[in-house]
Structure 1
Amino acid sequence: MMKLTYLFMLAFLSALAPAMAQTNETGVFHGAQPTKDRYRAVYQLNTADTAVIRHALANIQNALNDPRLKGKLEVELVVYGGAVATYRKDKPYFEKEVTSLQKQGVIMAMCENTMRIRKISRDELFPIISYVPTANGELIIREQEGWAIIRP
């Protein structure tokens, strides 16, 4: 019985240790600490829902503004499907945000497969857009390279 109690206590303390390691001397958690020189995230966007698109763009800006990630974060936004509205010249609802993010180094990628299916030419999109053959291929490659995949 004593051995079982000891094993239970050991398991409990092992589970508690990581949580304790994330707090300061006052016991308050202040978030994960950056331990790497570089972080990379790819956001995928495939809906025409304007609220979701705005939310995704705001999320990217929030990540860029995080003081823990300043100067360490590389971001790509991969757009496909209905989210093509994000990059369209004839519906410039998001032009200000997209341009601002691109000026901050965010790669604005558009799926050429979506363009082909929807018969959209490059002339219909903002000139700052980059192109990938398929969004899914881009996400697969980025994930294998160690990029965080964010699905807003």
Structure 2
Amino acid sequence: MKTFFLFLGLLLCANVAWAQQKPVRIVFDVTSADPSVHQAAIRHVSLMAQSYPGSSYEVVVYGQAIEMVLDSKSSVAKEIATLASGNQVKFAVCELTMKKFNVDKPQLIGGVMSVPDGILEIYSRQQEGWGYIKEGH
């Protein structure tokens, strides 16, 4: 009986180790104007990217969160530029939000892309099997 439990324990450990190595794809939804939410989103995506280097992440920004991706107003501009310079983390801002707040592409932090509709971008990622995280307090 002792051997059975030892075997079961080793099997469970092997499954956990394998699960931690499996790449993930996660889309982060950011709509808050609160800079502490922006900082939390960057912290979360950075830690995930470090922990799962073969994985893909996309941070979709729309609504009141527009300042998160504006070069002149973002509290996380340097972090976004660094993360966006690689190929693991993408930042996407909603063009409808840009239009609403009179923002042009040159105002965006380098590496931030635009998408026609932020909500549709999130929906599309979910249809592709991506996990979903809503950032907020």
TM range (shorter): 0.7 to 0.9
- The RMSD of aligned alpha carbons is 2.5
Runs of 4+ in 1 over 3 A off after TM superposition: 30-33, 35-38
Residues 1:100 and 1:24: Cα distance change in structure 2 (over 3 Å): farther
- Counterpart position of 2:60: 78
TM-score (normalised: structure 2): 0.80
Report 1 or 2 for greater relative contact order, CA contacts < 8 Å, sequence distance ≥ 6: 2
Identity of aligned residues (%): 27
Match of 1:107 among 90, 101, 104: 90
Uncovered stretches (5+) of structure 2, i.e. residues with no partner: none
TM-score when scaled to structure 1?
A: 0.73
* Structure 2 CA distance for partners of 1:140 and 1:32, relative to 1, 3 Å: farther
Q: CA, structure 1 residues 91+62, in 2 after alignment: closer, same or farther (shift >3 Å)?
A: same
- Say which SS state the counterpart of residue 110 (structure 1) adopts: strand
The 5 Å alignment of 1:85-100 reads 85-100=67-82
Alignment gaps of 5+ in structure 1: 1-19
CA contact (8 A) 2:80 2:109 kept: no
Distance 2:23 2:82 in 1: 21
Residue by residue, what CA displacement relative to the aligned partner does 1:23-66 show, whole Å, maximum 9, x if unpaired? 945x99x9674277532111110111011110010000010111
**Using the alignment, how far apart are the partners of 1:35 and 1:57 within structure 2?**
21
Distance 1:81 1:32, change over 3 A: farther
Deviation at 1:143, TM superposition (A): 0.4
